[in-house]
Amino acid sequence: MTDRLRELDARVPHAPRRLRKPSAMPIITGSAATFAALLTFLAIQVRDGRDPALGAGKPAVAAAPQRRILLRRIEEKVIIKRVIPAPTPAATATASGAATSAAPSYTSAPRYSAPAAPARVYTPPPPAPAPVVTRTS
Amino acid sequence: MTEHDLTFRAMGCEVRLLIGPGLHQNAESAAAAARSARAYVEDFDRRLSRFRPDSELSALNADARATVPASPLLRAAVRAGLWAATRTDGLVNPTLVGALTRAGYAGSLADQQPASLREALAAAPPRHPARPHPDRAWAAISIDDAAGTISRPQGVALDTGGTGKGLAADAVAHRLAGRARFAVDCGGDIRVGGPDVAARPFEIEVEHPLTGECAHVLRVGSGGVATSGLNVRIWARADGGHGHHLLDPSTGEPAWTGLIGATALGRTALEAETLAKAALLSGPDGARRWLEPLGGLLVHDDGDVELVGPLRVAPRLRVRLPRRPAHLEVAA
């Protein structure tokens, strides 16, 4: 057995032994794929609001709005003494006079008039009582 | 929540009642309570007026006996006058009927136009504080509740008018004890009360005796407020001078003390009325001593208003901001 091997070995010409340089392509492809996968993962996380850089957990606290201080306010008090009711169609016709009533009518169908909304009567608050006064009696 | 508001004339002045709801479900309405209180005040006036010949007070003064039967109301009114005299050591004196009559105050002046206070001040004698009368006639008056009588020295007539309005306000307040909040104003002698009044005190304006404007606003949680002044019951005399109803007990003449008005706070309207009169009669220096414990307000002859006691306030601090911060908003 040993001889046989020696014989075969002798027949095969021995080339000088060289280390083959590995190709860069797999490395580049693998790195790019890993990077893309990692980037995609992080992008999904950030999109979902789980930014790893910000940490997890705490609910967002809205910043308290800055207090506004009113230095001066001018209030105008309007006292409504008399409420003029909203004009009804009949009242409008009366008020607009003959010109309206003399206007040509192009249809014989009666005009639809929406029922007038009831006029809202403003009830003023009761007047403030007169102040109590101490005076010479 | 507003109070029932009723104003009417009695005791020679305007009486105003502000009565809130009852504290109990079965309490009578505020309007009914006001009607009842009005009837009480009118009865009080009818029985105790010095100007009504048929009043109990007039009957007492006309009675020649040393000891006279008197109703509980009359005894209470005389007791109030004596209390005021004791409290002020005779400065507020209920026995000056004769001097008042001689000074020109023999009848009610309620319907008469008062003389000009400015003219009266210009013509008035030099100012000095009033003093008690040395004879202290009021100290000899005694009240016997068991016997239902009043005893007084011969010739001493009584006037309960000086303390009557305050006493009436307190008496009505006593009847309104079941109300959440109330004010009783008897011509400027005011009593406020009720459990709600501490949280919602009454704002009481003090009328200036010269201008008639509001000189100050008091926020009264409970107790009494009263004002004494020279601007109402004042009249021109035939001799060119002027008289008014606040007499110097030592002279029997109208008192010109340097003050024309005094407003006092008190635990009751009677106390406030007594303190206000004592303050006005004492002049500026003495008035401050009277009003210092409970607070009050003085109006001097020149119209200056002075706050006394707890009403005095520290001067307000002026704070100057270096620059207006950006968050300050100026609204037009």
- Flag whether residue B194 sits within 8 Å of chain A, measured between CB atoms: no
Tally of CA atoms within 13 A in the half-sphere of B8 that contains its CB: 14
Q: For the beta carbon of residue A18, count every other beta carbon within 10 angstroms.
A: 6
Residues from chain A contacting residue B165 (CB–CB below 8 Å):
137
* Run of H or E residues at B167: helix B161-175
- Residue of chain B nearest A132, judged by CA positions: B204
A137 close to B (CB below 8 A): yes
Q: What is the pTM of this model?
A: 0.69
Distance (Å, whole) CA B316 – CA B318: 6
Residues of A in contact with B203 (CB under 8 A): 131-132
**Burial call A70-102: b when 16+ CB within 10 Å, e when fewer:** eeeeeeeeeeeeeeeeeeeeeeeeeeeeeeeee
Alpha-carbon distance of A56 to A49, in angstroms, equals 9
Instruction: Tell me if B219 sits within 8 A of B101, measured CB to CB.
Output: no
Please count the CA atoms within 13 angstroms of the CA of B234 that sit on its side-chain side.
23
ipTM score above 0.90? no
What percent of chain B stands above pLDDT 90? 69
pLDDT at residue B315, as a whole number? 45
CATH top class, domain B4-310: alpha beta
pLDDT in tens, chain A (137 residues): 567 777 766 766 665 666 777 788 999 999 999 999 999 999 998 888 777 777 655 544 555 556 666 666 666 677 776 666 655 544 444 444 333 334 433 444 445 555 555 556 666 666 667 888 888 87
Residues 23-62 of chain A whose Cβ lies under 8 A from any Cβ of chain B = none
Contact between B273 and B184 under an 8 Å Cβ cutoff? The reply is no
Look up residue B23 and give its DSSP letter. Answer: S
What residue spans define the domains of chain B? 4-310
C-beta atoms surrounding B14 within 10 Å: 17
Q: How confident is the model at residue B144 (pLDDT cuts 50, 70, 90)?
A: very high
For chain B, the average pLDDT equals 89
B292 — phi, psi (to 5°)? -55, -45
